[in-house]
Amino acid sequence: MSDTHSQTGRPRKSAGFWKQTWREFRRRKLAVAALVFVAVLAIIALLSPAIAGTRPIVCQYKGKLYFPCLAYFNSSWENPIFQIDKFRKRYPMNLEAKDPDSWAVWPLTYNDPYRPVYANEWPDRPRNPTRDQGDPNEWNWFGTDQRGIDVFAQMVHGTRIALLVGFVSMGIAAFIGICVGALSGYFGGWVDVALSRLVELVLCIPVLVLILALLAIVEEPTIWHIMAVIGATRWTSIARLTRGEFLRLKEMDFVAAARTTGIGELRIILRYILPNALAPVLVPITFGIANAILTESALSFLGFGAPPPNPSWGTLLSAGRTNHLMWWLIVFPGLAIFFTVLAYNLIGEGLQEATDPRLRDGARA
């Protein structure tokens, strides 16, 4: 027989848990499509200065190469020579006037997420329209806001904030929730009682009210404060699920065997129980990312979100609320928020079905 099992006499190694989970996840077409959508958003966030901006991606100026577009990630990354030579953030004309031998590679669309484009700033380019005159056109694909700032550029650069809020805030929430749930489930007794009461206390307080109360303490909140606050209020479901997993796993034979060999409590938690408890925890983390993006958008809509001049989808929605004639300020950011939240929810459902044998068998039936 040509079968490998019959030739070697050894049983074929079964697929590991994560490999089996990925195999099951790939069978869910909507979940895979959602994962691809999130990957595209991540690429947009990473390449946002090359998609929309008024700074060159790369340029040669006075015999040296520079990357002015990096200033969109951090303003301090812009080379001081452009300030010394008084470019005033307007590169096309200044590069040619101050160094005729210069050259530059420009973004896909010449628009800035922080300011309007002025007349002839780009050759034969009109000034960005303001107020309700800024409907979508050949220069401004998604229109402009009241100040004349391009909506497409704000949405592209706002993708960074949307993804950062989701991943950073839920990273904080996951760390807090896993630590609290692990300690509560493993040690039990008064530790479990105290931490369970803490979880119940946080659950009793409306999340949005708690976030607004915490932000009121900070005089000048930044986007990082918002991420920290969202993370500090979204860990309860992760903690309860982790506690349940630890209560189940600590009674397993492999944990008892580890104790008999004299392994310390911390190593048992980190090396033996935690890796086996992580899979179910991924599901609420994925759903939490969607909730975090929705929460940040709601805060920005209410005026408590990312402070100016940071571009945010929720801030664009809030701007559209004051002028109903500017429908593009509501439609495009609203669709972005809807599809992003939907994508994370579909990924979460796919993970839930892929990791839960009962749901997996039910879906096959």
Nearest to 295 by CA among 221, 212, 235, 178: 212
Coil/strand/helix, residue 114: coil
Mean pLDDT of the chain: 84
What's the confidence (pLDDT) of residue 306? 67
Q: Are 149 and 143 in contact (CB under 8 A)?
A: no
Give me the half-sphere count of Cα atoms (radius 13 Å) on the Cβ side of residue 152. 19
Q: In sequence order, which residues have a C-beta less than 8 Å from that of residue 151 and are 6 or more positions away?
A: 140, 142, 143, 144, 145, 316, 328, 329, 332, 333
pLDDT score of 111 more than 90: yes
Tell me the backbone φ, ψ of residue 356, rounded to 5 degrees. -105, 110
How many Cβ atoms sit within 10 Å of the Cβ of residue 262? Answer: 6
Q: How confident is the model at residue 47 (pLDDT cuts 50, 70, 90)?
A: very high
pLDDT tens-digit readout, 331-346: 999 999 999 999 998 9
- Evaluate if pTM is beyond 0.85: no
234-267 pLDDT per residue, tens = 888 899 989 988 888 888 888 888 888 888 888 8
In tens, the pLDDT along 348-357 reads 888 888 876 5
